[in-house]
Amino acid sequence: MGNLLKVLTCTELEQGPNFFLDFENAQPTEGEREVWNQVNSVLQDSESILTGLQAYKGAGQEIRDAIQNPNDFMLQERAWNSVCPLVIKLKKFYSFSLRLEEALQSLLECLTCPPLTPTQHLEREQALAKQFAEILHFTLRFDELKMRIPAIQNDFSYYRRTISRNRINNMNLDIENEVNNEMANRMSLFYAEATPMLKTLSTATTNFVTENKTLPLENTTDCLSTMASVCKVMLETPEYSSRFSSDDTLLFCMRVMVGVIILYDHVHPNGAFNKSSKIDMKGCIKVLKDQPADNVEGLLNALKFTTKHLNDESTPKNIRTMLQ
């Protein structure tokens, strides 16, 4: 099946098929082209979003000066004029999350619909599987960056306090044409999350399952567990990982593996850590722990702090111990 090669028919734990998927070279077939184009129009903006987030400096000094000198109109104006462009930038990031949510649901529809099994979809629709992986890769990169920028919430909190005060004083607020009160409320909820993009995707996946009542839950969870197996096999098998032309692809696989585990944990009633889970969590964590610590610290933290079922009583103690 082109770049998708079956490397194991099943694991010793009978957790389903494992595959090697060439994330670097998969190209869309005619049947995939329409959805691929739609999703690609979103993904092609992802790097500029990450670049914008990476360059985010915040208005901390201007805000401190304004707060310490409440009667100095020039300092108030300087802080306000510094924060407003940043809020426009934050709106752009938030709006992109909505586009990403739609793209994810389009891919889930394709990769889970009958009569094919999720495994057959991944075999036949490699380019869509690659896009699914790219969404997860972007999501974890975005959230890793966001967690290092406390200025985002400080800036937005100042903006909301100031705009409320200015509204009371009947001041002309042109920015409300860009970010009205409803938009500000939604953005506030988004940025309050430690990992806002991952939260968006988790909610989108849960909503997809809820809204598609005729689609068996297993179609979605099997798609996610198979993707986790894909990445785990590629990372732990030198014969396969050595085929990649860039070391960045290994980090890509790690992020994707963690992303699908988190989605699975949110969607499956018993979560990813339960003994009945189709994901070999012990094996996945071991694969991460075998990598350089700097590459995986954020990913291990994501498993610790953004999963839903890690602290359930049904989670084996050795799994929790491995993540400590």
Per-residue pLDDT of the chain (324 residues; tens, 9 = 90+): 344 444 433 333 344 445 567 788 899 999 999 999 999 999 999 999 999 999 999 999 999 999 999 999 999 999 999 999 999 999 999 999 999 999 999 999 999 998 988 888 988 899 999 999 999 999 999 999 999 999 999 999 999 998 887 664 555 467 777 888 899 999 999 999 989 999 999 999 999 999 999 999 999 999 999 999 889 988 888 887 888 888 889 899 999 999 999 999 999 999 999 988 999 999 999 999 998 888 898 899 889 888 888 888 888 888 888 887
Q: Prior bond to 269 cis, omega within 30?
A: no
Is the domain of 142 the same as that of 100?
yes
Is the domain of 79 the same as that of 119?
yes
Domain boundary among 131, 161, 193: 193
Residue 3 forms part of a structural domain: no
Neighbours of 299 (CB within 10 A): 21
Residue 19 forms part of a structural domain: no
Domain count, the chain: 2
Is the domain of 156 the same as that of 272?
no
Is the domain of 166 the same as that of 246?
no
Residue 131 forms part of a structural domain: yes
Domain with 104 in it: 27-193
What pLDDT score was predicted for residue 69? 95
| Helices and strands per DSSP (H, E), number in the chain | 15, 2
Is the domain of 79 the same as that of 221?
no
Task: Collapse the DSSP code of 27 into the 3-class scheme (helix H, G, I; strand E, B; otherwise coil) and give the result.
Answer: coil
Is the domain of 37 the same as that of 176?
yes
Which pair of tokens denotes residue 33?
A: 């082209």
Is the domain of 137 the same as that of 234?
no
167: enclosing H helix or E strand:
helix 151-168
Which pair of tokens denotes residue 99?
A: 């586009």
What pLDDT score was predicted for residue 19? 59
**Tokens 């030198």, located at residue:** 238
Residue 199 forms part of a structural domain: no
Q: How far is 2 from 29, CA to CA, in rounded Å?
A: 11
- Angle CA 280–244–7, to nearest 5: 45
Q: How far is 204 from 102, CA to CA, in rounded Å?
A: 8
Q: How far is 75 from 81, CA to CA, in rounded Å?
A: 10
Contacting residues for 28 by C-beta, under 8 A, at least 6 apart: 36, 127, 128
